[in-house]
Amino acid sequence: MAKYKVGYTTGVYDMFHIGHLNILKKAKEQCEFLIVGVTTDDLCYKRKKKYPIICEADRISIVESIKYVDKVVPQSDMNKLSAVKQYGIDVVFVGSDWKGTDSWNKYEKEFAEVGCSVVYLDHTDGISSTILRDRLNSGDKAQ
């Protein structure tokens, strides 16, 4: 299988977990150079009305240390097309849970106009930062 040149994916990466690692690994398997946008604290609050548990600088450091990641950039807005153009990205990776949504149908059209593909990667069921947050609040142990 021919690899894409430059791949891009984004996320908050709060309370880094196996689902995050799976996405990064699967993305890197399909591209030569993987750029990861880590959502800033301010953008996270703007979108979700809550701040991440782990601060932005620490989340960036964690993601930078992952062997599948070649470069980390802060994601300070939702203009993914701007990032595609700025970094010469030819593929954007996103979780399969976004496939068919209005926002990603729009992104697919925008990206296609500049020669960029979208690849949907399988979501890891049973884990998310929200699930971890809930476990912390309830005192449940890991499964």
Determine how many CB atoms are found less than 10 A away from the CB of residue 71: 13
Question: Sorting pLDDT into bands at 50, 70 and 90, what band is 130?
Answer: low
Does 115 have pLDDT greater than 60? yes
Go through the domains of the chain in sequence order and give each one's CATH number: 4-138 (3.40.50.620)
Question: Sorting pLDDT into bands at 50, 70 and 90, what band is 133?
Answer: low
- Rounded to whole angstroms, how far apart are CA atoms 129 and 58? 15
Name the nearest CA neighbour of 94 among 64, 116, 120.
Answer: 120
Determine how many CB atoms are found less than 10 A away from the CB of residue 18: 10
What pLDDT shows up at residue 36?
Answer: 98
Write down the mean pLDDT value for the chain: 89
Give one DSSP letter per residue of 10-45, joined into a string. EE--TT--HHHHHHHHHHHHTEEEEEEEEEPHHHHH
- Rounded to whole angstroms, how far apart are CA atoms 46 and 95? 21
- Rounded to an integer, the average pLDDT of 15-34 is 93
Summarize pLDDT for 43-63 with one digit per residue, the tens: 999 998 989 989 999 999 999
What pLDDT shows up at residue 123?
Answer: 77
- Rounded to an integer, the average pLDDT of 21-43 is 96
Which residue is associated with the tokens 């979208």? 118
Single-letter residue type at 54: I
| Total-model pTM | 0.87
Does 28 have pLDDT greater than 80? yes
